Amino acid sequence: MEWDELFASRAMRMKASEIRELLKLLERPDIISFAGGIPDAALFPKQAVADAYSDVLTGPQSSAALQYSISEGYVPLRDWIVRDMAKIGIVCTADNVLITSGSQQALDYLGKLLLSPRDTALVTWPTYLGALGAFNAYEPNYDRLTPLSNRPAEAYNEQAEQAGGAVKFAYCVPEFNNPTGETMPRAEREWLLDLAESLDIAIIEDAAYQALRYEGEAVPPILALDLARHGGDIESTRTLYCGSFSKTLAPGLRVGWIVGAQTVIRKLVLAKQAADLHSSTINQMVITKVAETVFEEQVSKVRATYSHRRTRLLDALGQYMPPGVQWTKPQGGMFVWVTLPEGMDGAALLKRSLETAKVAFVPGKAFHADGSGANTMRLSFSCASDAMIEEGIAKLGQLIADELAA
Amino acid sequence: MEWDELFASRAMRMKASEIRELLKLLERPDIISFAGGIPDAALFPKQAVADAYSDVLTGPQSSAALQYSISEGYVPLRDWIVRDMAKIGIVCTADNVLITSGSQQALDYLGKLLLSPRDTALVTWPTYLGALGAFNAYEPNYDRLTPLSNRPAEAYNEQAEQAGGAVKFAYCVPEFNNPTGETMPRAEREWLLDLAESLDIAIIEDAAYQALRYEGEAVPPILALDLARHGGDIESTRTLYCGSFSKTLAPGLRVGWIVGAQTVIRKLVLAKQAADLHSSTINQMVITKVAETVFEEQVSKVRATYSHRRTRLLDALGQYMPPGVQWTKPQGGMFVWVTLPEGMDGAALLKRSLETAKVAFVPGKAFHADGSGANTMRLSFSCASDAMIEEGIAKLGQLIADELAA
């Protein structure tokens, strides 16, 4: 079989990410890993989840829980999301909500709906590499989104046209960005809405970390600002908000959602119906029960734990990093982004680190659509104990200092 | 927002199926429905599923169950599938297996991997409409697969070339086809392998109903015959076998699988990683436990129940259908396919039936890639009680007789 000749051109974009290999390091007891961008399993609301599965399977919904269900998603879950969204200024109805299998699937379906080959997606440098992975299957080009830049709208259009397509959307993670941990200030969000209006494109707001704020004042989601520009009429908005229970409750159930104008949601429902019929019925029911009972308590617990770890990591970086190394000071999320001195290569540093210091992190290049960012790295603190942080950052700081001295 | 201008061309293929509306009829107590192609919820192994969730969430895997996991799927589940496949002549390893969110997702990913716009997919007339839905997103053309026909391979290639692409795969449901209920005899399977070899294309074997045989001798799966042609070397095969737990255990957990050459599985793992990371971890663990404990017993129960219903439906058709109406005599599965007298329209009949006889079925046109088959219909017996069958088929037979007399 000559499989290569049978594969579609988009298959050439399906490439193994080195990140995957890195995540395996988490299992090596001799490595202190800041690589994995995953929640701490010790925080999962196991009892509430176990109770919910038991309740669902012994209650009147037990048959429905195991049966096929509608592609839009479980109505009480969509109702819960509507109430949750209202708390952050997003007023919508259940018809504006599609349940997805994690917010990763939201990115896949949005790429599928919006991108023809050679169209352009606007992303920040760096951005979530899983978004690049999801979009890559639809063969777009990427152009750089630089918040508050003066680059005129025509320049984006011209570049997209030269690339053989049109600008279709701007993608961003405005809250506690993966990988930088940074929050887009309100002015940048308004700038992005202005740009999207000029270009008449969609905005994909990846809000996977929305609930994980540890300090500072909340900034309205882009969709909330978009709604405010349209007198609260969600049907006139251009922002597609992607949410997730993976960072607050548990990722293993694979439940996320998209909120947006019905024109788009209706198309996405059809896409989902064709692609996997619906997300797990029982898991949607269980997430609903867990959200209805312990969501606030659970989010408080997660916030307190991660907030402590973030502070410890920032303190350790201040204590152990040599001059010339810079890092972000996130107000939430799971990540700190480190910029190494110009010319130092994150990938090469990791290689040496795994041999000597035995500390793992993710080199920043993979998060850059143009392959730049060699002198950057992502540190995740979500699973890091005080002892790991103390020992790991001391060793990493020493390694970088040694490199600089060499 | 001018959303239509932002949608990719493939979005134009995302259309609501009238089937969806039909399935809602299941909830109307005044309608006797043979429309839904879903398993009978009364047969779900609820206790085993409840026990499995409880075991997983109180055992040593409780943290892993709620955490992210690998895109390939849970290893013990893949190991169970390897053992299960061996029983039907498919010898493979866990590296040949990808877990998907139902076999519908397998079809989506295979379309994504193999189809460029204007490529050709070979399908039977009629075929599973969900497969057409999944493939449509990748904008293929369809050409007709007529088992045992003498049409030369070059003719398929020529037609594909004229359509602007290449033939990429042949798709079929060889066991108890949805919608016809028919089984492909061994000679047709060998013919298909010959054709696929001549064209050097893949075969997608949709085996969703594989376990549901009620009588007659089992025919080896196409992948088993393909393996036999290559001395058991799965890496040399061209068949991608799509399995599902939806018809044996329960669809609400969304667990299916693909078995094939590693060259393809590795690409599909990347596609899945980019599209939804992985299927629900806890559901994979639960399905493993349920499969390990009650699979045979469960399959026996399902077979006995559906077998009885099939026999009753066939008897009722024989008793009540007027001359000129023909139907298949399935050896398994969930469906009987009815051919009405030439010129009678299934969709028009359904409209009248819902007004007068109050009996629902699925008109056959939707299962035809070319929109033919107006005088056909699909009857599902999986959820039909003896009383429903007796009353429903009597009324339907009378309605058809009245139409013929008019």
The pLDDT tens digits of the residues spanning A292-302 come to 999 999 999 99
Q: Residue A1: what pLDDT? A: 78
Residues from chain B that touch A16, judged by Cβ atoms under 8 A, are 270
Name the residue among B8, B46, B263 with its Cβ closest to that of A115.
B8
pLDDT surpassing 80 at residue A89: yes
Residues from chain B that touch A275, judged by Cβ atoms under 8 A, are 104-105, 108, 134, 137
Q: Residue B26: what pLDDT? A: 63
> CB contact, 8 Å: A26 with chain B?
no
Q: Do B68 and A6 touch (CB under 8 A)?
A: no
Pairing of strands B97-100, B256-259: antiparallel
Q: Residue A23: what pLDDT? A: 67
pLDDT, tens only, A110-154: 999 999 999 999 999 999 999 999 999 999 999 999 999 999 999
Pick among A4, A7, A44, A66 to test the B interface (most B CBs inside 10 A): A66
pLDDT surpassing 90 at residue A339: yes
**Scanning the structure block, which residue is given the tokens 């959307």?**
A169
pLDDT surpassing 80 at residue A208: yes
pLDDT, tens only, B145-162: 999 999 999 999 999 999
Q: Residue A383: what pLDDT? A: 95
Q: Residue A26: what pLDDT? A: 63
CA distance B114 to B98: 16
Name the residue among A14, A69, A275 with its Cβ closest to that of B274.
A14
Q: Write down the H helix ranges in B280-341.
A: 281-320
Low pLDDT (below 50) residues in chain B: none
Q: Residue A220: what pLDDT? A: 98
φ, ψ of residue B40 in degrees (nearest 5): -80, 115
Q: Do A68 and B252 touch (CB under 8 A)?
A: yes
CA atoms within 13 A of residue B170's CA, in its CB half-sphere: 29
How close B325 gets to chain A, by Cα (Å)? 32
CA distance B11 to B101: 22
Q: What is the mean pLDDT of residues A245-258?
A: 98
Burial A113-138 (b: 16+ CB within 10 A, else e): bbbbbebbbbbbbbbbbbbbbbbbbb
Looking at chain A from residue 169 to 188, which residues have their Cβ under 8 Å from any Cβ of chain B? 169
> CB contact, 8 Å: A114 with chain B?
yes
pLDDT, tens only, A16-62: 776 666 667 666 889 999 998 899 999 999 999 999 999 999 999 99
Q: What is the mean pLDDT of residues A319-334?
A: 98
Residues from chain A that touch B136, judged by Cβ atoms under 8 A, are 274
**B103, B229, B117: which is closest to B171 by C-alpha?**
B103
Residue B345, burial from CB neighbour count under 10 angstroms (0-12, 13-18, 19+):
middle
Query: Strand runs (DSSP E) across A207-289, as ranges?
Result: 239-244, 256-259
Q: Residue B344: what pLDDT? A: 97
Q: What is the mean pLDDT of residues A285-309?
A: 98
Q: Residue A28: what pLDDT? A: 80
Domains of chain B with bracketed CATH: 3-44+297-405 (3.90.1150.10), 46-294 (3.40.640.10)
Q: What is the mean pLDDT of residues A340-362?
A: 95
Q: Residue B13: what pLDDT? A: 84
